Chain A
Amino acid sequence: MVRLIMTTNLGDLCQARPGRAAAGGQVALRLVGPDLSFRDYSFDQVDALACQFANVLCDLGQGNGAVVAVFVPKCIDVFASVLGTLKAKSTVLSLFANFGDLALIDRLGDCGASCIVTRRASLARLERIRPSLPALKVILVVDADADLGPDVLSLPARMARAKATFASAQVDDDTPSLIHYTSGSTGKPKGVQHVHAAASYLAHSMAEIMQPRPNDLYWCTADHGWITGTSYGIFGPWLLGLTQLQFTGGFDPDSWFRILAEQKVTLWYTAPTALRMLARTTDVDYRSYDIGSLRSIFSVGEPLNPEISRWGREVLERDIYDTWFQTETGGIMIANRPGLAIRPGSMGKPVSSIRASIVDDDGKPCPIRTVGHLSLDYPWASMFRDYLNRTDTYRARFTRGVYDSGDLAYQDEDGYFWFAARNDDVINTSGHLVSPFEVESAVLELPEVAESAAVGAPDPVLFEKIVVFAALRSGHEPSDELRMKIRLHVANRLSAAATPQDVVIVDRIPKNKSGKILRRVLRARYLGQNPGDLSTIEDDV
Chain B
Amino acid sequence: MKCQSALNEVFRQVFANPKLEIEPDMSPNDIDGWDSMAHVNLIAAVELRFKIKFDTKELRKIRTVGDLGSLVDSKLS
Q: Which A residues fall within an 8 A CB radius of B? A: 34, 73, 97-98, 100-101, 121-122, 124-125, 250-254, 281, 283, 430, 480-481, 484-485, 487-488, 491-492, 495-497, 499
Q: A98-B35, A484-B48 are in contact. Are A121 and B41 (CB under 8 A)?
A: no
Residues of B within 8 A of A492 (CB): 15-16, 33
Residues of B within 8 A of A125 (CB): 17, 32-33
Pair B48/A480 contact, Cβ less than 8 Å: yes
Of chain B, the residue at the smallest CB distance from A495 is B37
Q: A283-B56, A484-B45 are in contact. Are A121 and B13 (CB under 8 A)?
A: no
Residues of A within 8 A of B14 (CB): 488, 491
Most buried by A among B14, B33, B39, B56: B33
Most buried by A among B13, B15, B35, B45: B35
Residues of B within 8 A of A73 (CB): 29, 35
Contact residues of B between 17 and 59, Cβ < 8 Å to A: 17, 19, 27-33, 35-41, 44-45, 48, 56-57
Please, how many angstroms separate the alpha-carbon atoms of A73 and B29 in the complex? 9
Please, how many angstroms separate the alpha-carbon atoms of A253 and B48 in the complex? 26
Residues of B within 8 A of A497 (CB): 37
The 5 A-B residue pairs whose C-beta atoms are closest, nearest first, are A496-B37, A250-B36, A492-B16, A496-B38, A121-B32
Please, how many angstroms separate the alpha-carbon atoms of A253 and B38 in the complex? 17
Secondary structure at the B interface, as helix, strand, loop or mixed, is helix
Pair B41/A487 contact, Cβ less than 8 Å: yes
Pair A481/B35 contact, Cβ less than 8 Å: no
Excluding A125-B17, A496-B33, 15 further A-B contacts by CB distance (< 8 Å) are A34-B27, A73-B29, A97-B33, A100-B16, A100-B33, A122-B32, A124-B19, A124-B32, A250-B28, A250-B36, A251-B36, A254-B60, A481-B48, A491-B14, A496-B40
Q: A100-B16, A121-B29, A252-B60 are in contact. Are A488 and B37 (CB under 8 A)?
A: no
B63 at the interface (CB under 8 A from A): yes
Pair A499/B35 contact, Cβ less than 8 Å: no
Pair A488/B13 contact, Cβ less than 8 Å: yes
- Min C-beta distance of A124 to chain B, whole Å: 6
Most buried by B among A34, A98, A480: A98
- Min C-beta distance of B19 to chain A, whole Å: 7
Some 18 contacts from A to B, beta carbons below 8 A apart, are A73-B29, A97-B35, A98-B38, A100-B33, A121-B29, A251-B36, A252-B60, A254-B60, A481-B48, A484-B45, A487-B41, A488-B45, A491-B38, A491-B41, A492-B15, A492-B16, A495-B37, A496-B40
Secondary structure at the A interface, as helix, strand, loop or mixed, is helix
Of chain B, the residue at the smallest CB distance from A480 is B48
Interface size in chain B (residues, C-beta < 8 A): 27
Q: Which of B13, B15, B57 contacts A283 (CB 8 A)?
A: B57
Of chain B, the residue at the smallest CB distance from A493 is B16
Residues of B within 8 A of A253 (CB): 60
- Min C-beta distance of B54 to chain A, whole Å: 14
Of chain B, the residue at the smallest CB distance from A97 is B35
- Min C-beta distance of B38 to chain A, whole Å: 4
Please, how many angstroms separate the alpha-carbon atoms of A39 and B37 in the complex? 26
Of chain B, the residue at the smallest CB distance from A489 is B16
Of chain B, the residue at the smallest CB distance from A490 is B41
Residues of B within 8 A of A283 (CB): 56-57
- Min C-beta distance of A271 to chain B, whole Å: 12
Residues of B within 8 A of A254 (CB): 60
Please, how many angstroms separate the alpha-carbon atoms of A416 and B28 in the complex? 42
Pair B48/A34 contact, Cβ less than 8 Å: no
Q: A100-B16, A122-B32, A254-B60 are in contact. Are A487 and B44 (CB under 8 A)?
A: yes
Residues of A within 8 A of B45 (CB): 484, 488
Of chain A, the residue at the smallest CB distance from B19 is A124
Of chain A, the residue at the smallest CB distance from B27 is A34
Residues of B within 8 A of A97 (CB): 33, 35
- Min C-beta distance of A341 to chain B, whole Å: 34
Residues of A within 8 A of B40 (CB): 496, 499
Please, how many angstroms separate the alpha-carbon atoms of A121 and B28 in the complex? 10
Pair A250/B41 contact, Cβ less than 8 Å: no
Residues of B within 8 A of A122 (CB): 32
Q: A481-B48, A484-B48 are in contact. Are A98 and B41 (CB under 8 A)?
A: no
- Min C-beta distance of B45 to chain A, whole Å: 6
Pair A34/B63 contact, Cβ less than 8 Å: yes
- Min C-beta distance of B57 to chain A, whole Å: 6
Please, how many angstroms separate the alpha-carbon atoms of A125 and B34 in the complex? 13
Residues of A within 8 A of B37 (CB): 98, 430, 495-497, 499
Of chain A, the residue at the smallest CB distance from B20 is A124
Please, how many angstroms separate the alpha-carbon atoms of A484 and B39 in the complex? 14
Pair A496/B63 contact, Cβ less than 8 Å: no
Please, how many angstroms separate the alpha-carbon atoms of A484 and B48 in the complex? 8
Please, how many angstroms separate the alpha-carbon atoms of A81 and B35 in the complex? 21
Please, how many angstroms separate the alpha-carbon atoms of A497 and B36 in the complex? 10
Residues of A within 8 A of B48 (CB): 480-481, 484
Residues of A within 8 A of B60 (CB): 252-254
Pair A496/B57 contact, Cβ less than 8 Å: no
Residues of A within 8 A of B27 (CB): 34
- Min C-beta distance of B27 to chain A, whole Å: 8
Please, how many angstroms separate the alpha-carbon atoms of A73 and B13 in the complex? 21
- Min C-beta distance of A541 to chain B, whole Å: 29
Residues of B within 8 A of A487 (CB): 41, 44
